[in-house]
Structure 1
Amino acid sequence: MIENFITSIRINHSRNVSDLEIPLSQDKRQHLILTGKNGSGKTSLLLELNKFFSTIDNGEIQNFQSYLTKKEQFKNQLSARLSSQEKHMLEDRLKSTENALAGFGGTEIFFSTEHLNIFNKYHSGEFILAFFDSKRHTRLTVPSGIKKIQLKKKYNINEKASTNFIQYIVNLKADRSFARDDNEMDTVEKIDTWFNRLETRLKSIFDSQNLELKFDRRAYNFDIITGEGESFNFNTLSDGYSAIISIISDLLLRMEAHNVKSYDLEGVVLIDEIETHLHVDLQKKILPFLVDFFPKLQFIVTTHSPFILSSVSNATICDLERRTITSDLSNYSYDALIESYFISDKYS
């Protein structure tokens, strides 16, 4: 089965970056880490990529390849001997085509399959596009009771799917109770497995093997209780954990309507300043955690952190300031990355 992922990004213009090609693997899904000092254009580039993805949502992507072909045709025709009238006509057509391409933002993104295939998969909900800006906090609505929610097959790239996360898992607990009363033990087991998997993931993030996710049936909420006896809920997490949960809960709900057991829907996820609010241990964990949890999502992230740069082997690193592209910094020591890659002294 052919998999769908980005194979290259051509930056035509994006703030301080222009005329730069970022090649990714042609054979397998490879993540992209964008780095560079403040002002080098990391966030601006993510916004340009987001603009390109919005044309997949609005359908304009169906014309993208046609525009590219026409652009090259007009350029080639202009190199031939032409009358002034013919030249003027072709120049007008070329300008019109370039204006149309400008609507896709300052980048051109190419996939392992045709753009039309990505368009079709996205609109059927089989290909996820999501964007997380640097201001990430968990703001989940606490329900007042059991209330049916309609999960969507497709969420828009900037849509916040996670708002109803607590309502969704409260409903799951209610479904389990009703299923047990009706002796539907297969459903009970399925829901138990779902919660066990979520709890296992939380243990990894919180680095607490005795962590427990406990349902408060009177408050229609969940408490996270660590092995050290600390107790908090999803809306009272520290900034770092809140930033992580905001991403996880959003991606979970984007996939839940498809009943995928391994959260293996394909897609591309943009995350700005992925290390925001995270202490060093979480900076080392966050990207490997997301890649493992959502194995068929391709992550494009921005960062200043050497701990992010070296956290996964299957990634291309692009320094926008120096216009350098490197594959796999996972074998570099943090000191080496700080001193050489960032050209600064580790003690400064």
Structure 2
Amino acid sequence: MEEIILEIQDKLFEHLSKILSINEGFKFSLRKSNLGNKLDRRYWFHGGINYVAISFWSGFDNVNRTPNISFIINQDESCFILFSARNSDLVNKFFLDKLYPALGFSQIISGNQLKIPIEGPSSYLEKIDDFIKQEKVEIDGILKKEIAFFADRREPGIGFIDGRDFRLLYNRAVKLRNAINQIQEPRLYESSLNISKLTIKNFGPISNFDLPNFGLGKKWIFLTGENGCGKSAIFRAIAAAICNDHSYLTNGDYSNYEVSIHITDGQKTFNREFNAKNAYKDNPKLLYRGFAAYGASRLTIEDTKQNKTMDTYHLTACDSIFKYCNPLLDLWTRIIEIQKRKGSSIAHVRIDNIREMFYSLIENLQTILFPGEFDDDKTYYAELDIKNNKGFLPVPYDYLASGIRSIIAMIGDLIVRFFDQQPNALSPGDFKGIVIIDEIDVHLHPSYQKKIVEALDIIFPKVQFLVSTHSPIPFLGAPKSSAIYVVKRDYKEGVLINRIDDKIYIQDLLPNTILTSPIFDLDEITNEHHETERILRTEKTFAELEFNDKVKAKINLFMNDTIESELISIFEKRRK
């Protein structure tokens, strides 16, 4: 059914483009971010598989994932106007006090959303034409009259679409549409990057292994294994080779190392022979400008008073994977540098896309306030109580939970590095490269251990992730395009690595079976103090366990010796 909504997306884009060709001042909202490859899949506007959301003003409800004021077209071509302010009490106040009365809505309106159905037999294109001629003109007039409402507020509000931002996004959409239309094969406009071949010799505890198809065609590569088995050594070998960086390989464990790595994007292959013989000849240089690597400690952000220049970011790409507690780059300070280097239009679009990325990544994040948007030069985060639909007070980074801080610090560092390495990118969804994350589960609640894999897969559709984990939970979020390797260490042979996903279909397994499978190889997962005379609970969910307990309690209320004897008698007769 996706083709129906994609046809609406295309027809709407063509229709609005015709209006634009007549009226150069005409502007409409376009999708800024390529999350989930949405732009490559022809989703030019906000919305999903069931609807399209188009707006003619700035202002976005990140909780509802739609503009604050939207014209909605459903898959069945029915239409309605949506006013949504789930993200902002300020925007909701503007709706209730200013916009609704000016539009003549006389009925009592409460809540933070309002839907106005558009009835009639006309097509959705005719309905949007009528909206542009009537309601859009009225709303434009109200916004001009009430322009002072949001002027002194630091919180983002509703306004008119910036002309330079619009032209930047529109030209990108036109270019991408033309490129997609020229491709005959039903594939994405750009494929992701893969490590296709890997050989490591004499690198720390690794004696020798050769993986001719290490990550070919796989978007995620998972390494598991006991502590000290060599997972980090594998990641360090890959990172050092990609960065061509010998600076950390100076002790006796790295006297005669050799690493051969091949990276492919489906069209070109990038190769490097990295070895100790060239340690004093090579200069650090990325094999592909799209790389970041992270060790298990990811909570510390750099001291911004000791900033490195943008041009040296690639020289520090190995630091986190080799050094414990290495400070990560501060995204929000670097945003200012991005603005200075790239100009305001690109910076505006990037900042909006960064906001959207964090809203997708952190489930209950309501608002991000960049330096200067709140009380000082810090970045503040406001979380949402989803159950009661109420926002908590904004707090700085240091006041957040360690799991959230680790996500913000790592992804912030990644964003800075990739925007530097790929200066033409507008969105994290445009990034193409390889990212290493050692112990992806560290600091995270089980719900986030699953979610971070799912979210990163959507946010960075063209990035290959190499991660290690000591938890079965991240596998619950693993996409089908995943390879799983088990790493072990042997006294004679050193580090051994075996691929396991071709023997186990991970999508069919629950955490208990993942733990006892060859992935983790646990012999026993019951509690050491479990009493053998008690029944071991094997329900799939806790809700199922509670239901069974309630059923058992009701049976016990009903049951007595006489009824029990009668039931036994009935069962015995049926067996005969």
Give the TM-score normalised by structure 1.
0.68
Map 1:263-282 onto structure 2 (within 5 A): 263=428, 264-282=430-448
Alpha-carbon shift at residue 130 of structure 1 (Å): 2.3
Displacement of 1:110 after TM fit? 2.7
Residue matched to 1:242: 405
2:357 aligns to what?
201
Q: For residues 198 and 340 of structure 2, what CA distance do their matches in structure 1 show?
A: 46
For 1:252, the equivalent position in structure 2 comes to: 415
Find the aligned partners of 1:255 and 1:16 in 2 and give their Cα distance: 31
Structure 2 residues not aligned, in runs of 5+: 1-189, 247-253, 275-283, 321-326, 385-390, 489-495, 528-576
Superposed, which structure 2 residues align to 1:297-308 within 5 Å? 297-308=463-474
* Matched AA of 2:239: N
Picking from 503, 506, 516, the partner of 1:339 is: 516
TM-fit CA distance, 1:230: 4.4
* Alignment partner, residue 500 of structure 2: 326
User: CA deviation digits over 1:64-119, x for unaligned, max 9?
Assistant: xxxxxxxxxxxxxxxxxxxxxxxxxxxxxxxxxxxx99343xx432333141699x
What does residue 109 of structure 1 align with?
261
Q: Which residue matches 1:151?
A: 310
Q: Does 1:261 align with 2:426?
A: yes
> CA 1:292 to 1:299, structure 2 compared with 1: closer, same or farther past 3 Å?
same
CA–CA distance in structure 1, aligned partners of residues 438 and 394 of structure 2: 29
- Higher Cα Rg, which structure: 2
Classify 1:27/1:338 alpha carbon distance in 2 versus 1 (closer, same or farther; 3 Å).
closer
1:177-196 → structure 2 map (5 Å cutoff): 187=344, 191-196=347-352
Runs (4+) of structure 1 moved beyond 6 Å?
A: 171-175
2:458 pairs with 1:292: yes
Aligned partner letter, 2:380 = D
Residues 1-348 of structure 1 mapped to structure 2, 5 A cutoff: 4-13=193-202, 18-24=207-213, 28-54=217-243, 56-57=244-245, 102-104=256-258, 107-112=259-264, 113-115=269-271, 123=285, 127-141=289-303, 150-152=309-311, 155-156=314-315, 157-159=317-319, 162-169=328-335, 187=344, 191-208=347-364, 211-215=366-370, 217=372, 218-227=375-384, 228-257=391-420, 258-263=423-428, 264-312=430-478, 313-321=480-488, 323-327=497-501, 329-340=506-517, 341-342=519-520, 343-348=522-527
Aligned partners of 2:461 and 2:472: how far apart in 1? 23
Q: By how many angstroms is 1:208 displaced?
A: 1.6
1:139-189 per-residue CA deviation (whole Å, 9 max, x = no partner) reads 24467xxxx9853386122257953422233567899xxx9xxxxxxx46x
The one-letter code sitting in structure 2 at the alignment partner of 1:315 is: S
Deviates more, 1:273-282 or 1:190-199: 190-199
Residue 300 of structure 1 and its aligned partner are, at CA, apart by 1.4
Residues 234, 133 of structure 1: CA spacing in aligned structure 2 closer, same or farther, 3 A cutoff? Answer: same
Measured at CA, do residues 319 and 25 of structure 1 come closer, stay the same or move farther in structure 2, by a change above 3 Å? closer
Q: Quick one: percent identity of the two aligned structures? A: 20
Letter in 1 for 2:291: L
Greater mean deviation of Cα atoms: 5-14 or 265-274: 5-14
> Residue 142 and residue 20 in structure 1: after superposition, are their counterparts in 2 closer, same or farther (change >3 A)?
closer
Task: Identify if the C-alpha distance between structure 1 residues 116 and 215 changes in structure 2 by more than 3 Å, giving closer, same or farther.
Answer: closer
Q: How far is 1:249 from its partner?
A: 0.9
Most deviating of 304-313 and 322-331: 322-331
**C-alpha separation in 2, matches of 1:168 and 1:247:** 14
Give, in angstroms, the shift of residue 14 of structure 1.
Answer: 5.2
2:338·2:347 contact (CA, 8 Å) conserved in 1? yes
Distance 1:325 1:27 in 2: 13
Equivalent residue letter for 2:509: Y
Report the Cα offset of residue 251 of structure 1: 1.3
Q: Count the aligned residue pairs.
A: 288
Q: Secondary structure of 2:198's match?
A: strand
Q: Distance in 2 between matches of 1:207 and 1:2?
A: 28
CA drift of 1:336 comes to 1.4
Q: Compared with structure 1, are the counterparts of its residues 123 and 37 closer, same or farther at alpha carbon in structure 2 (3 Å cutoff)?
A: closer
Q: CA deviation at 1:298?
A: 1.9
- Whole-Å Cα distance in 1 between the matches of residues 308 and 230 of structure 2? 39
Distance 1:2 1:282, change over 3 A: closer
Q: Normalization by structure 2: what TM-score?
A: 0.43
> Secondary structure at 1:299's aligned position in 2?
strand
Q: Is contact 2:441-2:471 (8 Å) kept?
A: yes
Whole-Å Cα distance in 2 between the matches of residues 259 and 290 of structure 1?
A: 21
CA deviation profile, 1:190-220 (whole Å, cap 9, x unmatched): 55543333233222333126x1012452511
Structure 1 unaligned regions, length at least 5: 59-99, 180-186
Q: How large is the Cα RMSD of the aligned pairs?
A: 3.9
AA partner of residue 470 (structure 2): H
Q: CA deviation at 1:19?
A: 4.2
Cα drift, residue 260 of structure 1: 0.2
Asked whether the equivalents of residues 8 and 22 of structure 1 are also in contact (C-alpha less than 8 Å), the reply is: yes
Larger relative contact order (CA 8 Å, sep ≥ 6): 1
